[in-house]
Structure 1
């Protein structure tokens, strides 16, 4: 696939989260692979299919619109965020006006397919993830909400512990609105769905498609883990990667497997074909992310004009796909503040540059859209 080059528009301040009436799968269905059938083709039948699931108790519709405080725990890490319908109808004309900052470009055709799918489903099936640094007053308010008994509490089929509070009190909703209105949010996960939201808003202005489902996480309170996404390059020789790294201005040192993996940090990458290992230290890496250095300076120096990349979310997955005919580039985890500073200065990271984890299980909270 060609590299993504299109940057979706920027939603303008004030950031506004609107209450909505959620649809939720039953606890026994959340995280169950078979539950994906409820959201599968043909997409035009999804609304009716969910209605059938509600009738038989496999899903439910909330009693009234709300903002939702959603807390989930996975692998010992707890994440808490506000879930609401983000107003998408205003676009920013300047850096200062931007409320939502994508950090990757998108493929318009993929965003279009997602928009068509959601339109047929009449549904936002999962929230996109936004991260920000919230005010202490907002944290205190959400702590107060969380001291009450959750409206929903359960362990889902994936092992995630879910707790949700429906926030309906008008005064509390208004306070939340005031406290998030000036937030600058990094789009952590869901770039193509975000672009699909914007496309639907442009095509159906003045309707419920003016908003899209989001979860707003305070990265300074209950942060998502920011991990690397590693690469393997089929039909590229390790020697070519080493040569291109030298030419791009890096110190490349042959190492044992143990020492190379031990060098994988904020200033080093690792190249390997599974047998031979190199630690790569780009000079001047403090000024750019390692993944950007790879895409901007190394890949263009490889023989040939186009190279297929395969992406892997763990070192183990990458090494399992590594061979003499498909060497791996192992990348260090990005630094959140570095990513945010890059994006807010007008820059972008390459596609699939970051992995924010853990994501909430599918089906915990969905937003039906009726025009």
Structure 2
């Protein structure tokens, strides 16, 4: 896919509303199991039948009544709590209406179309998109009270050793209060940009029904913060000398360093370029609310004398360094942005370059599935 094909998805208009739904949940031994994805595999038109068969075999459960869910999961020592429900995508934001959901990356239209086609055939949202925000303190207190008032309705450890606790919220007063507190807020997409774009396409194809909403979970970064990591780059066809020359042409300071000193310098305002033998520290000094990865793609990469012929993406320094040699390309190690920086960029109307953020931990597949067939038709 060419980067030129990336487009900005439309914005869903506020208020931000999560509605109850009847959750489908795989049996604990199947949550997080990659083999469980076969329940949602081709032919997609047979997915509903397959889910019924799994239900008959006790391999999944379907809740009897709609609920909003408080989902707590713990992975690799990090605990995350999120509200899970169906988010309203039926209206588009304009210049005068607030935006409820804020994408921070562009999407490939063909990929979003493909996901929309699959969901339309399945009549299923297979997993929630992951949203993050600084929730209002009263909402945080309300959800703490939900946890204190009753034990979790579901508690289990899944196939990949993630611990889960789930509270089903059905009390009308609590639901109304959640709606009141969440409505004026917005949330940034942490994971699921193409699924979000698919939601918008599905809603446009069939307005007034289940497609008016998509499955989502909202994490309060002030309660149980997601870890936000960097995604490093390998610039294939580019040398460390090319990076040094590009920096000099832009008036950006750069200097060679020993490997340990270069890695120690990696942080706010500093990038590291290396081919595994030569190491270069680049002081980018982003202006205003820019972040380092923006400077790399908006300034340094266009100024390169050679390449890159291709860019690959890696989540750890170790993995990145395994993909470079002086003859192959140059790694660019990046500092991780903060959630506040991500929010600042999207509120300013910009998007991050492709694969610029890594929010973790993501929920395991199978904890929440939504079937359109479980929802009553819209009133005529």
* TM-score, normalisation: structure 2: 0.94
Partner of residue 245, structure 1: 247
- Counterpart position of 1:340: 343
Report the aligned-residue RMSD: 1.6
Residues 61 and 262 of structure 1: CA distance in aligned 2, closer, same or farther (over 3 Å): same
1:9 aligns with 2:10: yes
Higher mean alpha-carbon deviation, 274-283 vs 195-204, is at: 274-283
| Whole-Å separation in 2 of the counterparts to 1:137 and 1:283 | 38
Distance 2:101 2:147 in 1: 26
1:331 is aligned to 2:358:
no
Partners of 1:164 and 1:319 in 2: CA distance: 40
Unaligned stretches of 5+ residues in structure 1:
none
Q: CA deviation at 1:249?
A: 3.2
Contact kept, 8 Å, 1:238 with 1:273, in 2: the verdict is: yes
| Cα contact 2:234–2:329 (8 A) shared by 1 | yes
Residue in structure 1 matched with residue 213 of structure 2 by the alignment: 211
Matched, 1:143 2:144: yes
Q: Describe the shift of the 1:284–1:34 C-alpha distance in structure 2 as closer, same or farther (beyond 3 A).
A: closer
Specify the SS of the correspondent of 1:329. strand
Partner secondary structure for residue 327 of structure 1: strand
Q: Alpha-carbon deviations, 1:252-306, whole Å to 9, x = none?
A: 1111111111111111111111111111111345541111101100111224677
Structure 2 counterpart of 1:360: 363
Secondary structure at the aligned position of 1:94 is classed as coil
Q: Which residue does 1:288 correspond to in 2?
A: 290
Q: Does 1:77 align with 2:66?
A: no
Deviations 1:124-165 (A, max 9, x none): 111111111111111111001112211111111112111111
In the aligned structure 2, how far is the partner of 1:266 from the partner of 1:234? 25
How many pairs were matched up? 371
Counterpart in the other structure of 1:113: 114
Residue range with higher mean Cα deviation, 221-230 or 200-209: 221-230
The SS at the match of 1:340 is helix
Structure 2 unaligned blocks of 5 or more: none
CA contact (8 A) 1:130 1:215 kept: yes
Deviation string, structure 1 residues 200-240 (Cα, Å, up to 9, x no partner): 00000011011000001111111111111111122222322
- Counterpart for residue 257 of structure 2: 255
2: distance between equivalents of 1:45 and 1:319? 44
- Whether contact under 8 Å (1:66, 1:166) holds in the other structure is yes
Partner of 2:44: 43
Distance 1:284 1:101 in 2: 22
Query: 1:309: which partner in 2?
Result: 311
- Tell me if 1:91 matches 2:95: no
Match of 2:56 in 1: 55
**Greater than 6 Å deviation, 4+ residue runs:** none
Look up the SS of the partner of 2:222 in the other structure: coil
- TM-score scaled by length of structure 1: 0.96
Q: How far apart, CA to CA, are the structure 1 residues paired with 2:240 and 2:45?
A: 47
Any conservation in 2 of the 1:19–1:65 contact (CA below 8 Å)?
A: yes
- 2:237 corresponding residue in structure 1: 235
